[in-house]
Amino acid sequence: MKNSTAGATLLGAAVASLAAYFFFGPKGKENRKHTKEWANKMKDDVLRKIEKTRDLTEPMYREIVDSIAATYEKGKDASRAEIRELASDLKKHWKSIKNSAQEVKHDAIKGAGRVAKKVRG
């Protein structure tokens, strides 16, 4: 498996993990109920940006969230306090994203080894 394919798979899983945690985690019902349209758009923008990032680190993730939040603060869809609160909440989920990404990477490496054995075999 090429590095770029494995990286894309890894980031895709991280994105899915973030979305799943937000909507189905401990406060999932409350989050689903109170999520506003602008918040969904902001989260989608963050997810699209991290999908394009090859080797995502925590400082890179935080910078992505901050840059997207700064863009939304210029608009009039939500107050600065609401945007900052959402950005803070997104930043808190870094460990969940990191752990999910490591699990997917491990599975991708195992799968690549099996494929290589079949090809050589």
pLDDT in tens, 100-111: 666 655 555 565
Under a CB-based contact definition with an 8 Å cutoff, are residues 94 and 61 in contact?
Answer: yes
* pLDDT value at residue 25: 75
* Residue 108: domain span: 3-120
Cα–Cα distances (Å) from 117 to 3, 13, 30, 72, 121, in that order, read 18, 25, 48, 49, 6
Per-chain mean pLDDT for the chain:
76
pLDDT value of residue 67: 95
Number of domains in the chain: 1
Rounded mean pLDDT, 9-16 = 68
Q: Of 72, 45, 62, 66, whose CA–CA distance to 97 is shortest?
A: 62
